[in-house]
Amino acid sequence: MNIRIAIFLFFSASSLCFASEREVTAVPTGNQVLQYDKGAPFVLSNGQNTRASLSIEVISKSEARLWLGVFNGQDVPITVFAEGASAVSDGKPLQILGVAELTKKLKRKSMWERIGAGAAAGANSYTASQQGRTTSESTHSGTINNYRSGGNTSLDYQGRTTTRTDDPIARRQAQESAIAKNSEMIGSIRANQAIETSALNDSVFQTQTIQPRGTYMGFLQLELPRKSGTQTSPIEVSLIAGPDTHRYFVFLDRPATQQQRDAITSIGIQTSNKDVDVQGRDEQPIDANDAGFYDNGNGTLTDTKTGLVWTQRDNGSDINWEGAKTYCASKNMRLPGIEELAEIYNRPGGDIVSCNIATGQYAGNYTCKASSLFRLSSPGFWSGTQGDAYVAWKYFLLDGDRNTFDIASDTARALCVGGRS
C-alpha cells in the first residue's frame, strides 16, 4: 500500500471531531500533501527516512489535539518521543501537554467528580434517613359556656395539636435503597475514570521505538493562542522523527495570505543551505548535520545516527547522581546509558567542542571530542548506568575515559537524552 494512503487511513480510523469555534487551515510545504476529513486538515509529510502525518482536532477555544503519526522507512529502528514535538506562533513557544501533564489534568477532573459524587451521596443518605417519619398538625378553637345561678361564664379557646409517627421499616428500606444507589453511582464514576486513564495512556504520543516499516501514532494537546483581531499568523509545528524533522504550518481563524503560501510551499524538510520564513524573508543558513547531529532550534540536538535527542546544554553545575536523574526527569528525559555517552564521543570527522570549567578545584580550559553543536560546561558526565547499588558510571568526553563513582558523595554534570532506554 502507498505509504501516504496508509497513514491517511490510519488517521481516518480515529474518527476525529472538528470544532467549528476556531477554524483551522493548513498550508503544505514542498514535500507535503494536504487532505481534509470532516473539515479537519491532514498534512502528510515525506522525509528522506520517515513519513509523518499531522491532524488538528480543535476541542475548545483554547485547546487542540495534535494527532501525530510516524512511519519508519529506514532499515533500522528509530525512537520518537513527545519532547520531539514543538509549536511556535509569532516567535513564541506554545505549550504542548504530554502524558504527564494530561494525567494531572485528568486527576484534577476526577477529584472534582468524586467530590460531587460525595455530596450527592450525602444528600441521598439524608433524604433516606427522613423516610418513614411523618409529622401532622391540627388546630382547634371554640367557646366553653358555663351556666350557673347568678350568671353565665364564657371561655374562648384556641389550640394546636402535633402528631408524629415513625415507620422504621420504611426508613430502613429507603436507606438500603440509597446505599445501593450511592454504590452504583460511585462505582460507575470509578469505572469511567479507569477507562479514561487507560484510554489516555493508550492514545497519547509517548516515547516509542518504531521498527523498520513500522508505524506509530498518538496525540498531544496544544494550548492555542488567543484569537487575534486582524493578524494572520501561522502556528509552526515541528516533529522530530529519527533523523528527520517535519515542519507543519497551520493557520487559526483566518486563512494564509498568498505571500505566506508562496513562502511555505518553498520549504523542504531539513534543508541544509538556507530556509525561508513564512513572510518570504531569507533566514540565516541552517547548519548541516555536525558530526551526525542536527540542531533542532529548541535547545535539543538530534543524533542522526541513533535517533536519540540530547539536551544541547548540560545542567551547568556539579550534582550527585540522584540530582542528575531528577534534573533530567524534570525535562521529561533521562540520564544516558554509559554506552550512549560513548556513542557521541570522537565521531568521524574529529569534531571538537569547548567544555571549560568556570569555577572550582578543576577550573580551566578543556576541549571535548564531541559535536561542536553541544554547549558544555564540563568534560565529565553522569550516566544512568550503575555499577552496583552504591556507584554509577561517569563518562569523560575529554578523553573517552569512564569509571564508577559513589552516587551519593561524588558529583558531575547532567547531559540528558530522550529516546530508547
**Choice between 332 and 2, residue whose per-residue pLDDT is larger:** 332
Question: Residue type for 158, please?
Answer: Q
User: What is the SS3 assignment for 264?
Assistant: helix
Q: What is the 3-state secondary structure (H, E, C) of 110-145?
A: HHHHHHHHHHHHHHHHHHHHCCCEEEEEEEEEEEEE
Please tell me whether residues 94 and 229 are part of one structural domain.
yes
Confidence of residue 283 (pLDDT cuts 50, 70, 90): very low
* Position 351 pLDDT exceeds 80: no
Ranked by mean pLDDT, the top range of 41-55, 143-157, 179-193 is: 41-55
* Position 331 pLDDT exceeds 80: yes
215 belongs to a structural domain:
yes
152 belongs to a structural domain:
no
Tell whether the torsion through CA atoms of 404, 408, 413 and 416 is positive or negative.
positive
Q: What is the pLDDT of residue 291?
A: 56
Q: What is the pLDDT of residue 229?
A: 63
Q: What is the pLDDT of residue 39?
A: 67
The residues facing 70 across adjacent strands are: 52, 216
Read off the pLDDT of each residue in 222-244 and give the average, rounded to a whole number. Answer: 81
Cβ atoms of 125 and 94 closer than 8 Å:
no
What pTM does this model have? 0.49
Q: What is the pLDDT of residue 417?
A: 92
- Closest alpha carbon to 140 in 162, 155, 158, 154: 158
Please tell me whether residues 76 and 215 are part of one structural domain.
yes
Burial class (CB in 10 A: 0-12, 13-18, 19+), 11: buried
Please tell me whether residues 181 and 323 are part of one structural domain.
no
Cβ atoms of 130 and 168 closer than 8 Å:
no
334 belongs to a structural domain:
yes
Cβ atoms of 395 and 370 closer than 8 Å:
no
Residue 31 belongs to what domain range? 3-98+205-284
Confidence of residue 305 (pLDDT cuts 50, 70, 90): confident
Please tell me whether residues 66 and 112 are part of one structural domain.
no
User: What is the SS3 assignment for 90?
Assistant: coil
Q: What is the pLDDT of residue 232?
A: 63
Minimum mean pLDDT range among 47-51, 93-97, 194-198, 409-413:
194-198
Please tell me whether residues 17 and 87 are part of one structural domain.
yes
Please tell me whether residues 381 and 408 are part of one structural domain.
yes
* Position 269 pLDDT exceeds 80: no
Q: What is the pLDDT of residue 321?
A: 96
Read off the pLDDT of each residue in 39-55 and give the average, rounded to a whole number. Answer: 86
pLDDT tens profile 357-398: 988 888 888 999 999 899 999 999 999 999 999 999 999 999
**Choice between 418 and 153, residue whose per-residue pLDDT is larger:** 418
11 belongs to a structural domain:
yes
* Position 2 pLDDT exceeds 50: no
Q: What is the pLDDT of residue 358?
A: 86
Please tell me whether residues 387 and 308 are part of one structural domain.
yes
pLDDT tens profile 154-197: 777 777 877 777 778 877 887 888 788 888 888 887 777 777 77
Confidence of residue 128 (pLDDT cuts 50, 70, 90): confident
Please tell me whether residues 92 and 239 are part of one structural domain.
yes
61 belongs to a structural domain:
yes
Q: Which of 284, 319, 337 is the last residue of a domain?
A: 284
Based on the structure, what is the number of domains in the chain? 3
Please tell me whether residues 220 and 178 are part of one structural domain.
no
Q: Which of 284, 312, 342 is the last residue of a domain?
A: 284
* Position 42 pLDDT exceeds 70: yes
Cβ atoms of 401 and 393 closer than 8 Å:
no
Say how far apart CA 51 and CA 268 lie, in whole Å.
13
Q: What is the pLDDT of residue 191?
A: 79
Mean of pLDDT over the chain: 80
- Closest alpha carbon to 92 in 225, 219, 221: 225
- Closest alpha carbon to 300 in 249, 240, 350: 240
Confidence of residue 419 (pLDDT cuts 50, 70, 90): low
Minimum mean pLDDT range among 12-21, 76-85, 391-400:
12-21
Minimum mean pLDDT range among 195-199, 299-303, 311-315, 389-393:
195-199
Tell whether the torsion through CA atoms of 410, 412, 418 and 421 is positive or negative.
negative
Minimum mean pLDDT range among 73-82, 167-176, 274-283:
274-283
- The distance in angstroms from the start CA to the end CA of the chain is 32
Cβ atoms of 391 and 407 closer than 8 Å:
yes
Residues in the chain: 421
Question: Residue type for 190, please?
Answer: R
Please tell me whether residues 87 and 164 are part of one structural domain.
no
Please tell me whether residues 311 and 391 are part of one structural domain.
yes
* Position 401 pLDDT exceeds 90: yes
Q: What is the pLDDT of residue 137?
A: 79
Confidence of residue 150 (pLDDT cuts 50, 70, 90): low
Please tell me whether residues 304 and 414 are part of one structural domain.
yes
